[in-house]
Amino acid sequence: MTWTTPEAPSAPPPPGGHASGPAQPDPRRALDLDTMRPLHADGLSLEPLVEAHAAAMFEVLSDPAIYEFENGPPVSVEALAQRYRRLESRRSADGHEQWLNWVIRLPSGELAGYVQATVGADGRAWVAYELASRHWRQGIARRAVNAMMDELIARYQVTRLVAVFKTANFRSRGLLQRLGFCATPAPGQPAESCDTDESVMVRPGMIPVLDTPRLRLLPPSAAGDALYQRFYTDAAASATYGGPLTPGAAWARLAADLGSWHLQGFGVWVIEQRETGALLGTCGFWQGRGWPRELTWWLLPEARGQGYALEASRAAVAHACRVFGWPAVETYMNDANTAARALVLRLGGEPIGRRSFPDGLERDLFRIPDAAP
């Protein structure tokens, strides 16, 4: 069971290298603890991969069932040892990526496979795993990948987890779904590139915090309850956002905004004024079923007219294009919402057509490129 990662460290280096066998030192004493930490997951031990693991892992990776959908087994212990020696650097040659690999040790002491992540400077991590087939369908892969993802989020500040796998690999798809991954949004415009016979699934890691000169864009949380209550129970303030809502419905809207990050890999941030810590509104991305994805924002009445929506929107658009990998951002508004239209034009938005929406109305659709410096 495996999925591929673009530019992943799983590709073997050129042939060569020296043998690694039983005479090598105990790998558990050779861990690079300054770079990586050993992990534990419900009886499993995840050890940072080192060259001394090559002999045991050669046996694990020689299982032909692993390669039902792609790749092939290592050619020799020597070649695998050379590859592992290179991976001990934990960095790509240009230094732009971290290569993190852990072998999975069972309570019996036997190695079952490995998990890996290629972590980019932008907060994305491409994840993968391989297990010998005799260890499939026992929850081992789920526990090991979960432990790795927790480490990526907590220690490496990963904000977006990406898996690229062969579309025919139904086992990997099922595991990814159980781990909270979802198909990339906006079919036809995947956030991550892949080959025609591959699929991409993503999961948010740590919802990122974005900073601008005056603002901090924070993940939705219970701390925003009072903000949502004030806005959504105010009939005038929330008139163009489905309001007014009851207090219970306002809470549900906050929960939905948080849930969007986990179901779709994107969502809105809560806008905080950096100087005072006051919560002003939200900005980010929304997509309901049957609706196109859009840039959206709202502010409390006293926060309007001060450029906060423009400042927050610029940060959100830049993050979407540079981290999510979207080619551009789209948005729309009711024809009477001249303030929103003016802001979109200031963001560099251009109308790309007029279309009908699920609520029966027609609206102009705008495309906003990444124009932030």
Average pLDDT over every residue of 179-186: 70
Q: Which of 188, 204, 220 is the last residue of a domain?
A: 204
236 and 362 part of one domain: yes
pLDDT at 80 over 60: yes
pLDDT at 344 over 90: yes
Given pLDDT bands bounded at 50, 70 and 90, which one contains residue 27?
A: very low
Q: Is residue 14 part of a domain?
A: no
pLDDT for res 323: 79
Q: Is residue 11 part of a domain?
A: no
Mean pLDDT of the chain: 86
pLDDT for res 19: 27
Residues 6+ apart with CB under 8 A from 364: 332, 333, 335, 341, 351, 353, 354
Q: For residue 135, count other CB atoms closer than 10 A to its CB.
A: 20
pLDDT for res 78: 97
Task: Map tokens 């530019």 to a residue.
Answer: 7
Beta bridge partners of 114: 103, 130
Best-predicted range by mean pLDDT among 16-25, 29-38, 324-333, 343-352? 343-352
Helix/strand/coil for 91: strand
Q: Is residue 3 part of a domain?
A: no
pLDDT at 358 over 90: yes
Q: Which of 146, 169, 204 is the last residue of a domain?
A: 204
Residue 200 tokens read as 């991409």
Q: Residue 361 belongs to a domain with what CATH number? A: 3.40.630.30
191 and 63 part of one domain: yes
Average pLDDT over every residue of 136-165: 91
Are the CB atoms for 185 and 191 separated by under 8 Å? yes
Given pLDDT bands bounded at 50, 70 and 90, which one contains residue 184?
A: low
pLDDT for res 13: 28
pLDDT for res 217: 94
Q: pTM higher than 0.75, yes or no?
A: no
In terms of residue numbers, what domain contains 47?
27-204
Compute the radius of gyration of the chain from its Cα atoms: 24
Given pLDDT bands bounded at 50, 70 and 90, which one contains residue 20?
A: very low
Question: Cα separation of 344 and 103, whole Å?
Answer: 49
348 and 235 part of one domain: yes
Can you state the angle between helices 308-319 and 338-346, rounded to 10 degrees? 50
198 and 317 part of one domain: no
143 and 58 part of one domain: yes
282 and 355 part of one domain: yes
234 and 307 part of one domain: yes
Q: Which amino acid, residue 126? A: W
45 and 91 part of one domain: yes
pLDDT at 248 over 70: yes
Question: Cα separation of 95 and 85, whole Å?
Answer: 16
241 and 130 part of one domain: no
Helix/strand/coil for 366: strand
Q: Is residue 361 part of a domain?
A: yes
164 and 307 part of one domain: no
Average pLDDT over every residue of 344-349: 96
pLDDT at 176 over 70: yes
pLDDT at 29 over 80: no
154 and 221 part of one domain: no
Q: Is residue 6 part of a domain?
A: no
Q: Is residue 4 part of a domain?
A: no
Percent of the chain with pLDDT over 90: 69
Helix/strand/coil for 111: strand
- Residue 40 dihedral angles phi and psi, to the nearest 5°: -135, 140
Average pLDDT over every residue of 105-122: 95
169 and 298 part of one domain: no
Q: Is residue 19 part of a domain?
A: no
Number of independent structural domains in the chain: 2
Q: Which of 172, 204, 236 is the last residue of a domain?
A: 204
pLDDT for res 192: 62
Average pLDDT over every residue of 9-28: 31
CB-count burial class (<10 Å; 0-12, 13-18, 19+) for 121: exposed
Q: Is residue 168 part of a domain?
A: yes
